[in-house]
Amino acid sequence: MSKQTIKKIAKWSIGTVAALFIILVIHLVIVMKPVAYDNINIQLAKVELDEERDSTARAMIYNKIISIEGVKSAKYFEASNSIVVSYDNNVMTNEQLLSKINQESKEMASLKTPSAQELASGCPIKDKNSMSYRFSVLIQNIFY
């Protein structure tokens, strides 16, 4: 290969990488645009069940929880034997939700209370040491 061909390949490669990087930054700016939420009164509660349930019992508990006034949605997580419930905190508190779940389902359940370390860490899904998290925070700090 001649020097001219190598220079041409290098220029195209650098140009392609630069274009892809610019597209990535534009995409992140569009995706991370702050959103005004209209669900400010929705709160999540994690209800831990005392024993394992089969699918029929889970469906019954789910239907009873969904029927409680103020509950928006519920999802059962088999691995942790818990139900995450979203509800309107203008209608009820955590304690009222727990008492209604125990009354409605005749099951013994308890609310998950996060530790001080869990509260301080924020979202448990985000790995704050990952490169993708650091890069997205950098882009967010530059543009917002």
50 and 104 part of one domain = yes
Q: Residue 22's domain spans which residues?
A: 3-31+126-143
109 and 133 part of one domain = no
49 and 108 part of one domain = yes
Residue 36 placed within a domain: no
Return the pLDDT at 107. 62
Residue 60 placed within a domain: yes
49 and 109 part of one domain = yes
Return the pLDDT at 124. 59
Residue 141: helix, strand or coil by DSSP?
helix
Amino acid in position 69: E
pLDDT band at 82; cut points 50, 70, 90: confident
Residue 110 has pLDDT above 70, yes or no: no
Q: Are 69 and 82 in contact (CB under 8 A)?
A: no
Q: How many CA atoms lie within 13 A of 133 on its CB side?
A: 8
58 and 105 part of one domain = yes
Amino acid in position 79: A
Indicate the number of domains in the chain. Answer: 2
Query: For the domain that residue 59 is a member of, what is the CATH number?
Result: 3.30.70.100
Let me know if 124 is exposed, middle or buried by CB neighbors in 10 A (0-12, 13-18, 19+). Answer: exposed
47 and 108 part of one domain = yes
Q: Say which residue, 107 or 85, is predicted with more confidence.
A: 85
CA separation for the pair 6, 44 (Å, rounded):
58
Residue 118 placed within a domain: no
Residue 88 placed within a domain: yes
Residue 120 placed within a domain: no
Tokens linked to 39: 């669900």
Residue 121 placed within a domain: no
Average pLDDT taken over every residue of the chain: 81
Residue 37 placed within a domain: no
pLDDT tens track for 5-63: 999 999 999 999 999 999 999 998 888 877 666 777 888 888 777 767 677 777 787 88
57 and 99 part of one domain = yes
pTM: 0.53
